[in-house]
Structure 1
């Protein structure tokens, strides 16, 4: 065999070996991986391909970091892998890992912000989310944050989430204001938001919101003081949250622009962050002649047009409270 034939035969053998190695590698890329149970892995921002491969290897997602890096370069995904928090299923292949990271299909976290919390309470919820970063430099105004369920990812900032809540509230209030009933005693959307926050704190019964709003609209229109207990609680706690005890007669006399037993009209701003339903109730209140309401002992309220009727409802409520207290079993000292 001449030199040329020997060289050709050698080249063919090398090509065959390389082709076989490539085929073997390609098969390994789509084969099930070593994971035996679901695993969450965080890929830090700025991680290069080698760092990503080592992190996945250490977490047991891939058997060979070298093979993962080979697959990333072979598929062209090496520069497209996105940082973040990933949840990998048992037996996930390298090919599937690459596809998941290329598309940035990270873990989605959810935070539900209930209606009626103050901004201080909402910031407390954000502080308890360990995957969020940073702090909020200044407490947002009460009424500026929209209660909702928010999705976020690992590494998102608390300040960004607050900004999303603020944009949401701005949009909801603007849309509701456009569709408001006419001749309401509000000078601005902010007045309606303040009313909505009072309605939110006064009742947790969805069917009552518009009726409660109607009571307060009637009081504003007849120059009655609102006399809303939640406004007193807000004054006493400076917007920090719940009072933790029942109000006293002295509480009702506290000097504060938020105490609607002392000050006529609406307080100077919202006392909580109301939800969309309460905002709509404030801007589309039920039209009726009720001026009073009190808890009825069942979770709802009894409404009255006159003070004597209201006093009878109050007496019934107090009787219900006494009966409930009498039915409570004694506290054991064991």
Structure 2
């Protein structure tokens, strides 16, 4: 009898072990298998969250088949205590293992709310936008001008005030090509998510702030951001200078930066940069003056603000070191912060016979080899200007 009982108990124990092994194997498959999520979602993990709360949120969102298996998997892989705060884009079909790795790895948030601070040539703009997980595109929820003054000055919209109070809001500073150092610095002074200040005697050299996108955290020091921009620009200068072709009409990286800044201000079309570079470099090689308005404008404004009017004859005839209608060669320094493609155009221009160009009414330019051709192009442009004024 006792043997029978022992035999039955052993049988039951074996069956239980087999069943347990089956459950474990099933759990492992569930943990690593493709998840049930049919459309990407944004998972927000507030500071102080627990794995239990996150697992239940994921189950409620339909991102995991079992909150319990999710937690067991986190415990088994020793990641339960490594949960990071942030907003995470959980892709369609993501497995529990992939989600665990994502929310414990840390780093920048991959979805949620983003504040984009755009610094353009003439103005700055703050955008609040939210990532739509389903489409992967951002939806703008608010926009305002942080530098507006007088009657145009606005209290930041409620949407901005709200996201500023959220710890997982991401911040990005975008600096456009062709900005001046003054424009960048003045714009950053108005960025209330940055700390610190920039003194007048600490202003970076013109041309030395790399146009780019910079991710920052709320409370980041503005001096640290400026240092990142300067370091990035210096690295670009060194890299591009090493790529230069033979026969350029300048000898130093500093002169290359000056030429790149002129190219940047003269055309907004990427496909024209090397043609514009060829015109200015052909002129230098022939001993001709550059005769470019943007350098004269910089001499008038010193890179501060926008001229807002046409150049006067007195300014075109002035003895300013930036008046390339009067001086020989290049001005003494850059007139803006050029992007890397303008630098590349400066060190590798197209091979053309052109020494003239003028706007053609399409946003681009008409190039010419002779003064006769150029005068004809200028006449066409004057006609276009007259027609535009008549239609205003």
Structure 2 residue aligned with 1:114: 176
Is the partner of 2:368 in helix, strand or coil?
A: strand
So what's the TM-score if we normalise by structure 2? 0.58
Is the partner of 2:313 in helix, strand or coil?
A: coil
Is the partner of 1:272 in helix, strand or coil?
A: coil
Task: State yes or no: 1:104 paired with 2:126.
Answer: no
Question: Matches of 2:87 and 2:305 in 1, distance apart?
Answer: 33
Instruction: Tell me which moved more, 270-279 or 159-168.
Output: 159-168
Instruction: Tell me which moved more, 137-146 or 271-280.
Output: 137-146
- Assess if the C-alpha contact under 8 Å between 1:113 and 1:122 holds in 2: yes
User: Higher strand proportion, which one?
Assistant: 2
Structure 2 residue aligned with 1:263: 327
Is the partner of 1:152 in helix, strand or coil?
A: strand
- Assess if the C-alpha contact under 8 Å between 1:43 and 1:83 holds in 2: yes
Cα distance, 1:103–1:127 mapped onto 2, change above 3 Å: farther
Listed one character per residue, the Cα deviations across residues 57-87 of structure 1 (whole Å, up to 9, x for unaligned) are xxxxxxxxxxxxxxx9999768645566778
- Assess if the C-alpha contact under 8 Å between 2:195 and 2:219 holds in 1: no
Cα distance, 1:173–1:153 mapped onto 2, change above 3 Å: closer
Question: Matches of 1:264 and 1:75 in 2, distance apart?
Answer: 70
Question: Matches of 1:153 and 1:107 in 2, distance apart?
Answer: 14
Count of equivalent residues? 317
Instruction: Tell me which moved more, 198-207 or 218-227.
Output: 218-227
Residue pairs, 1:276-287, within 5 angstroms: 276-287=340-351
Cα distance, 1:325–1:302 mapped onto 2, change above 3 Å: farther
Of 283, 287, 295, 1:219 maps to: 283
Of 130, 152, 155, 2:218 maps to: 155
Structure 1 residue aligned with 2:312: 248
- Assess if the C-alpha contact under 8 Å between 1:289 and 1:305 holds in 2: no
Alpha-carbon offset, residue 177 of structure 1:
1.3
Q: Which runs of 5+ in 1 are unaligned?
A: 1-37, 54-71, 90-94
Alpha-carbon offset, residue 229 of structure 1:
0.4
Residue pairs, 1:111-150, within 5 angstroms: 111-127=173-189, 130=192, 133-135=193-195, 137-138=197-198, 139-148=203-212, 150=213
Report the aligned-residue RMSD.
Answer: 5.1
- Assess if the C-alpha contact under 8 Å between 1:225 and 1:261 holds in 2: yes
Alpha-carbon offset, residue 196 of structure 1:
0.7
Question: Matches of 1:136 and 1:119 in 2, distance apart?
Answer: 17
Of 330, 346, 366, 1:301 maps to: 366
So what's the TM-score if we normalise by structure 1? 0.67
Question: Matches of 1:289 and 1:39 in 2, distance apart?
Answer: 56
